[in-house]
Chain A
Amino acid sequence: MNFNIESPTSKEELLNCLRNHQSGYFRLAAGFTDLLIELKKSKTEELTVINLSQIKDKQFTGIDIQPSGIRIGALVNVAQIGKNQSIRKSFPVLQQAADALASGQIREVATIGGNICQASPSGDLSCALVALKASCEILKMDGTIRHESLNDFFRGPAVTSLQKNEVLKSIVIPANQTNKLKSGFIKIGKRSAMECSIVSISYHFQLGADAAILHSGIAIGAVAPTVIFCREAADFLHKLNVNKIHETDQLKVAELIQQSASPIDDQRASAWYRNEVLFNSAKSIFEQD
């Protein structure tokens, strides 16, 4: 494994790096926890890696809390997300997903931007962020910003809408409109640490008076080519009392969630098993507490 590395330290230097490499092959990396594993196995020669981790720009490295929402820089690492008090309070699903990702050592270096740009169907943060209706702020080479919902950003397994002349700058999560929440992350795997999900479900319900669900987000991971937002299930739950969801409605929600999935057989689980686990886990959302 031998490659060249360029380490821009500011947004301007980064844009210059991008410009200089448009005609050749290059990769972007921040935490390197995925890229190094890939490069150790590949025989690519003449590769330049643009090392984002030395950029000192709050837009990339900070967590900015605004009344309209929270902006997380693409270089914020997973451990920071797991420990952030505002995220813990307002977006438990994201905090739980961060805590469930890989191991403590990986969380210290892996970044939210990397987790998203890998576009793994089983990406833990991706799943939570889709349920939270997050959007991407993408820096283009000419210095302008392109906005796109995270749901649209994902185009397939390991495929995003990101172009060669773009880099993910930050993620924006819209603020909750109510204070009462039911929010969580369910991760099913064969073991509880260092695991890549067999099925994951993220849910984030904002509750009004009488615990009625006013805004809901549900996303599922590892059961389709991308993380999927379960619109039908989310719509079905509108105005239902989160504490009194009748068993027939629970089954209906689980069924709607299952219908948005299209799992395949792979080394971790069969499609049949994924379907079963997805149904039962979906049903369990309203059985908890």
Chain B
Amino acid sequence: MTLWKATVRHYIKHPWQILLSTVGITLGVAVVVAIDLTNSSARKAFDLSTGALTGKATHQIIGASNGVPEELYFELRKNEGVSSIAPVLEGYAKFQGKNAKPEEGAVFQVVGIEPFAEREFRRHLDNTVKRLDIARFLGEPGAMIMARSAAARLGIKLNEPVNFLISGTETTFTLVGLIDDDDELDALALASMLFVDIATAQEVLEAYGVLSRIDIILPDDSAGKRLLQELKVSLPSNVDIVSSNARNYALSQMTKAFETNLTALSLLALIVGMFLIYNTMTFAVVLRRQIIGSLRALGVTRGEIFKMIFAESIFIGIWSTWLGIFFGILLADGLLSLVTRTINDLYFVLNIHSLDISFLSLVKGTLIGVVATALTGFIPAYEATKSTPRASLARSALEAKYREAFLWSKYIGGGLMLIGALVLIIPHNFLWLSFAGLFCVIGGFTLYVPQLTLILVNMAVPVHNKILGTLGNISARSVSSSLSRTSVAVASLTVAIATTIGVAVMIDSFRGSVVAWLDNTLRAELFVTTPGVNSSRAKGNLSPVWVERFRAMPEIRAVSTVRNVQLQAPKGITELHVLKVPDNMFSMFDLKQGEYAQASQGFFEEDGLLVSEPYAYKYEIDVGEMLVLPTDKGLRSFKVVGVYVDYGSDQGIVTINRDTYERYWDDRTITSLGLHMQPSVNVNHFFDKLTAAVRDYQAKPLSGEKEQDLIIKSNLAIKEASIRVFDRTFVVTEVLRLLAIFVAFVGIVSALMSIQFERRAEIALFRVLGLTPQEVWLVVTGETGLIGAIAGILAIPLGLILALVLIFVINRRSFGWSMDITLDPMLFVQSLLLAITAAMIAGMIPAFRMSKSNPVNALREE
């Protein structure tokens, strides 16, 4: 009981200590919880919305390239065994709010349904749509229904026309019914969907005669299995029947690597947070050396002391973990929009408006927080017990012990780094293990920090001496004299700065590689597409008329065509790029595998495929192997003739020559065109001419039909847009990195405060000996500046190691991308400056306090 009283007294006397310990764990836990909540919210929203879309369909009939011809639906209706069957046509529409700027509009999934066939499929529609004016739903083109909460959020009222952008065309919908989604889960599931009649869907999406898929419910018995077999055999070769679960699973896997990376970054923040709690707990012990020594002298056992200190840290851990969870939820709210945007940019349409606070995430956060405090609290508690009653009063004894510990910390550090390196070098497919390896390397490195600090201090002494004279000597030496404290501060700052460097180098290298790839790939001067919903979403189809028109223009040397198709290949969902480029432009592929001439010949003449690096990595395909794709003539295998660099999709891309494609698929659509200019043509002038020509065509439409809207972009504009998406993707990473720095900063403040607190007597002595407050300032900031400099210097090699691991291991194992390293020397200068500045600012508070304190008081205490 006395022990507890002593503890409580202590913290009442030093409230800021609780604050600092709390801040460390709170921040660490907050970041981890925030990322976990964000990820789980996104995943849940995804699961729910795919669930709502899939409904009770056990299987889906999907097309090879161009969707499913609607006639198949009518054919299947005649099959007596198939009792539950419904057509679905899906597309995307971007909400054009009254004030919203076009790029800010939420993207919705337009789901075209056949209400009469539908009722067995979608619970939401069956049970929650009350008072639907079915006559209007079917009878009015553009009639739609959506969830009540979604309508309320967008401010859409019943019977009010609202504009959406579909393939660049403004399309007016009228809300004729509301789906009740009082249940939060329903609201989440339906948040990004609007339902229209299948006729409306075909009209607004301009997908006449086509369905996205046919939903089907097969009974889970032998009859159902028989029917499935029968359908598999009897369905035309250009469609396939797949289980809904398998398809949804494949979709959900798309974001997995992205989520893992975010989680790993959040753990990094926690590690920095752990340094912090170690720091403050140690400090708590330091401050009470006298009390602990006295207690020991009075007969309190080591076990009791350990229990006291350990319980203290656990208590602080639990309390700060709770706080951390609270802040984590706040933070997650902010992160959610960033993460959602990236998911929308790169993967699929998902509107998440509210955080889903899952109990599991909170339990995870609590566990992580408490375990982290227990781990870090263990060391100071042990430290407190290890000293003899008398010696624990002496600061020097502690330092001496600490230096002894270097010896074995070297070996542990070396071992850790070795294990980490092995885990990173040996190829495997466990992303988590790779991150564990990375953490081993970081941890190992930090164990070397005390030694490296000593070395660097010794190197710095002459410099300090020169600049500040004797005072400089004092401030430099004080770093090494209280090494047990300073090295932790240095280590945490090092890790934080190294993270900054590593992530920045990775992003820079990534960006550089993407730019180089874009430069190499975007060979045409101008690109023509129809307006799509956003950068990665399905574009409209380009009328082939345009190809002929462009070919006829004298300025245009060649026209290349692109068609993007999503196939449900046996290996998984496969993005197929159908490319027609002039033969001499094969060098647009930067081959990572495969011999250039052979690949070119194979691609153009032998039905060969090129696969992008992520695809090859994900599905473990090498050059020379066969890849099976569902063609309109059934499954066919194609030879892979090359693996090329592509950063366009982390899911991987398979590229096929258009001539090959047209032999196996009946699809003749074009998604976009590349216009290659004659060398003498001024592209800017031609751009204007082309735009005018297109406008002319649109003013005088052929055959009375409305001419398509075209988007013409220079390769420069496309490059800029791509880079913009790229940068946006890394905003979350950037935020996490800043948080890590912030945690480190708080760590530095607390470490330095504890150091300076311990040195109160020393400083007081200086003051008595005649040092002015200004000179005290110099000593203290000189010391903290040195700590910052050392951390900054040590962070450079660690940051580089981190960058290498991120680039060559993590990115590769997450996405299959390889990239060239781009190093910007300014980055290192910046990091160094950042470290020094952070440390100097952190030193301000203790410096200020010490220069203002009355030396007599401090001396009297001693």
Please say whether chains A and B are actual partners in one complex.
no
Which residues does A use to contact B, with CB under 8 Å? none
